Amino acid sequence: MQKHQLMAIAGALALALSALAWAGERTVNLKVDGMSCAMCAPAARKALEKVNGVKSAQVEGEQATVVADEKVQDTDLVKAIQGAGFTATVLN
């Protein structure tokens, strides 16, 4: 390939990677029901953290706060909580 073609490919690749790095994030608040012991909150947090695109998850009391990529759907988070044996409702 010619030098200018390689530079164009490299530029396009750099642009694509930078777009991924700047992908938007959002915060989702959930009400989690069914947690009755000290191990429930950590189990719910771990379930949320396993969802692809979740950056962080905190569970305190009946409230879960998740920071995730914009592509993560609320239903993905609710299903993760259900898979851990609890129920969840999106608050925002």
Model pLDDT for residues 11-54, shown as the tens digit of each residue = 555 555 554 555 699 999 999 999 999 999 999 999 999 999 99
Q: Is the pLDDT of residue 81 over 80?
A: yes
* Res 3 pLDDT > 80: no
Q: How much is the pLDDT for 92?
A: 85
Mean pLDDT of the chain: 86
CA distance 68 to 81: 15
- Rounded to whole angstroms, the Cα distance separating 67 from 23 reads 13
Q: Give CATH for domain 24-90.
A: 3.30.70.100
**Closest among 56, 83, 52, 79 to 67, alpha carbons compared:** 56
How large a percentage of the chain has pLDDT more than 70?
75
Angle at 39 between CA 36 and CA 41, to 5 degrees: 75
How far is CA 90 from its chain centroid? 14
Read off the pTM.
0.74
User: Residue 5 to residues 9, 10, 12, 16, 27: CA-CA distances in angstroms?
Assistant: 6, 9, 11, 17, 41
